[in-house]
Structure 1
């Protein structure tokens, strides 16, 4: 998985009833765009460092995340 600053990251819930989380990548851990990523979450405006798993996908900047 590779991303750039400004891309969106979408985390799908892994359990029944889990909500989808969408955030904007504000920093990448490596020059090649590989994780970890610093993400500002839309639902809380908090910034966290994540190592995305298989439930995550990247949406390039300028493309809206598809509704569920």
Structure 2
């Protein structure tokens, strides 16, 4: 898994009816975008996170430079 600051980690619910969890990646500590990540969860708490198979990264678009 590769990510960058500003991407989101989505963790799928484990049981039927469980909501997915979402966390904003605020720091990337692995080489070339690899885990671990420091994330801020949708409930407001922050943790160091090592994703497992139930997680996906939702890419945040890279900033564009606007030349005129």
With the shorter chain as reference, the TM-score category is: 0.7 to 0.9
Structure exhibiting the larger radius of gyration computed from Cα positions: 2
Kindly state the Cα deviation for residue 15 of structure 1 after the two structures are TM-superposed.
Answer: 2.0
Instruction: Extract structure 1 runs of 4+ deviating beyond 3 A.
Output: none
Kindly state the Cα deviation for residue 2 of structure 1 after the two structures are TM-superposed.
Answer: 0.3
- Using the size of structure 1 for normalisation, the TM-score is 0.81
Instruction: Tell me the residue number matched to 2:57.
Output: 58
Instruction: Tell me the residue number matched to 2:46.
Output: 47
Aligned ranges 1:1-68 → 2 under 5 Å: 1-42=1-42, 44-62=43-61
Question: Alignment RMSD, CA only?
Answer: 1.1
How many residues were matched structurally? Answer: 61
Kindly state the Cα deviation for residue 17 of structure 1 after the two structures are TM-superposed.
Answer: 3.0
Q: Point out where structure 2 has 5 or more consecutive residues left out of the alignment.
A: 62-68
- Using the size of structure 2 for normalisation, the TM-score is 0.81
